[in-house]
Homo-oligomer: A and B are copies of this chain.
């Protein structure tokens, strides 16, 4: 499968390198407004530099990876889909859920395969929890807890154009909650505050937040987020069901423990998302290639992207108004 890559930034470089190293894929062309960035990545991956137009028009390109800024996602998805490409797009499809709906209509009409980059579903630990749930290890799911804490807050300039914590950061956890609950949330409560960096509060956002979700049948999900974790990139899930509990713990830097009079000191957890989710990005690409090759719809789908965005919007509104938002 020959890929064109749109966007050679941090996440584009990950996907580009993974495509180049994949036995069933090759990277054909790289486009980026920053010619140097495109050139460097293209050279490293044996690809050529091209414009977005060229890549979309190139009949030898089977699939495009969209890793551009968010505000270009929906347009590029539509163009690539109309050109008959299989499309992999980083989350979110758009910050406006109506725009996502129109985009998904275009994709549906084009019949193009579309996968949204909720990479955490492919983390070996989280994927194993899902596998155990599906195998019945915990019985019927009743209560899901998702915890996600970044090592350090982003600069306020980023915050201002991010759509806010619920859309920018928690959207991953909202997708994870949907993934694990097995039912759609219909009630969204949210609280948040700026406790980490006052500049984030001044920019109109929160850096510490929690959401409470309820599905129609009464299943519950708790999510908590913070823009700070001194001990690494804290990423955990826990699922309670009628027969028991499954959880994925953090991944420590090493398995070393040192015992002294002070106690038993284990390592902090892996600190950076590129390290913590390196396997997830590879497995995500595997899943996309496998689905497209088999003619099956990739998952998570555009509809998953829309559903997570709707929840992020609801959480944003619930936080702003102090009132729960009811969906569906």
In the bound complex, do residue A208 and residue B132 qualify as a contact, i.e. CB atoms below 8 Å apart?
no
Give complex CA distance A189, B189 in Å. Answer: 7
Q: Are B231 and A244 in contact (CB under 8 A)?
A: yes
From the candidates B137, B194, B234, B258, name the one contacting A246 in the complex (CB within 8 A): B258
Most buried by B among A145, A210, A255: A255
User: Is A324 an interface position by the 8 A CB rule?
Assistant: yes
Provided the pairs A264-B268, A265-B262, A268-B264 are in contact, do residues A210 and B244 lie with their beta carbons within 8 angstroms?
A: no
On chain B, the residues within 8 Å of A145 by CB distance are 145, 147, 222, 224
Say whether, besides A249-B257, A250-B255, A261-B268, A195 and B218 are in contact (CB < 8 Å).
yes
A72 to B313, CA, bound (A): 49
**A263 interfacial contact with B, CB 8 Å:** yes
Interface set, chain A 270-328, CB cutoff 8 A to B: 322-324
Q: Which of B194, B231, B267 contacts A245 (CB 8 A)?
A: B231
Q: Is A176 located at the chain interface by the 8 A CB criterion? A: no
A143 interfacial by beta-carbon distance below 8 Å? yes
Shortest Cβ gap from A326 to chain B (Å): 8
Interface residues of A in 49-106 (CB under 8 A from B): none
Interface check A184, CB cutoff 8 A: no
In the assembled complex, A247 has its CB within 8 A of some CB on chain B: yes
Contact B214 A261 (CB under 8 A): no
A254 CB-CB contact with B under 8 Å: yes
Chain B nearest Cβ from A284, distance in angstroms: 16
Docked pose: A230 CA to B126 CA in angstroms = 22
A130 closest partner in B (C-beta): B256
Is residue A22 contacting chain B, with contact meaning CB distance below 8 A?
no
A14 at the interface (CB under 8 A from B): no
Q: Are the CB atoms of A254 and B124 closer together than 8 Å?
A: yes
Which 5 interchain pairs have the tightest Cβ spacing? A193-B218, A244-B260, A231-B259, A249-B255, A189-B189
